[in-house]
Amino acid sequence: MIEADGLAKDYEGAPALREVSFTVPTGSVFAFIGPNGAGKTTTLKILGALLKPTAGRARVMGIDVAASPDEARRLVGWMPDQYGVYPELKTREYLDFFASAYGVERERRSRVVERTLERVGLAAKRDALVGALSRGMTQKLCLARALLHDPPVLLLDEPASGLDPQARFELRDLIRGLQAEGKTVLVSSHILPELVEYCDGAAVLQGGVVKFAGPLSELGTELSLEVRRVRVRLAPGGSLSRALEILGAVPSVRRASGEGRAVGLELAGDDSDLADVLDALVRAGVRVAAFEETRRDLGELFLELVRKEA
């Protein structure tokens, strides 16, 4: 489990984090979402025992990272957004170097490197120069580096940055595989829609403050009572003008527009208000072929939450 409790961090008197709190359950994949400068990397560095917080506490698998940084680092694999590579080294040489730095015994090092290359899908590139790798392969190599000491917790800072769609799919599958092994993964990303496919929960960070933390499903619920979007398809012969007239008289409807037999509307309220809208149309004799709420994607929800909390 990862726990952040009231984390704060100041740089030369300027606050980068303020009262950041969230919990990542063991074995889950947790998204850390926020615009540039929100404090995501600062938080990850604190969790990885690379920075000391100004206030608050962080624990990884029960270990206080500020009080026991060396013990905490052994539990964490850190993949930064910006990382150094040695272009003239072969990939296996690169990983051998870092395995040595992580304290992997010499007699085990070769096996660990080979197993890790297999794990991330780079075995065929073991003798390739690091400088000749594509962006996607370089990201895999950096992930391999974070896995060499087989940590139970992974902190991945923008791992999909700059990747093409295929490379992002491969990274997604790698993360799913790591979760299946029982690892806890905290991943920051700005490619929001894809996070829904493999993340269990999320924290939204803006201006150093957590605006939301919890299951991804609850991010939609957090905003669903504000504005809900509904798509209506009228049956053949249904009157668009009559439908818009009726919808304009329903108190919960904020906006309604349409073309042909398609009507889109936004309303404020709960499921009861949603039912009232459909009931108003039916009672007025408007023939409805389809009536469904449209779910906003994670990117839209994030932007709405940020605007709401600004």
**Phi (first) and psi of residue 40, to 5 degrees:** -65, -50
Contact 268, 243 (CB under 8 A): no
CB 207 within 8 A of CB 40: no
Residue by residue, DSSP assigns 224-261 as: HTT-EEEEEEEPTT--HHHHHHHHHT-TTEEEEEEETT
Q: Which two tokens stand for residue 262?
A: 């398609």
Please give the angle made by the CA atoms of 84, 85 and 86, to the nearest 5 degrees. 130
Q: Provide the b/e sequence for 292-309 (b: ≥16 CB within 10 Å).
A: eeeebebeebbebbbeee
10-residue block means of pLDDT along the chain (310 residues)? 94 89 94 85 95 95 95 94 85 95 93 95 95 91 95 93 83 91 90 73 87 76 64 91 93 92 89 92 93 72 58
Q: Which CATH number describes the domain made up of 225-309?
A: 3.30.70.980
Output the pTM of the full model. 0.76
Q: Where are the domains of the chain?
A: 2-219, 225-309
- How large is the greatest C-alpha to C-alpha distance in the chain, in angstroms? 80
Query: Residue 224 has what pLDDT?
Result: 46
User: What would the CATH number be for the domain defined by 2-219?
Assistant: 3.40.50.300
How much is the pLDDT for 277?
Answer: 94
The pLDDT, as a whole number, for residue 304 is 62
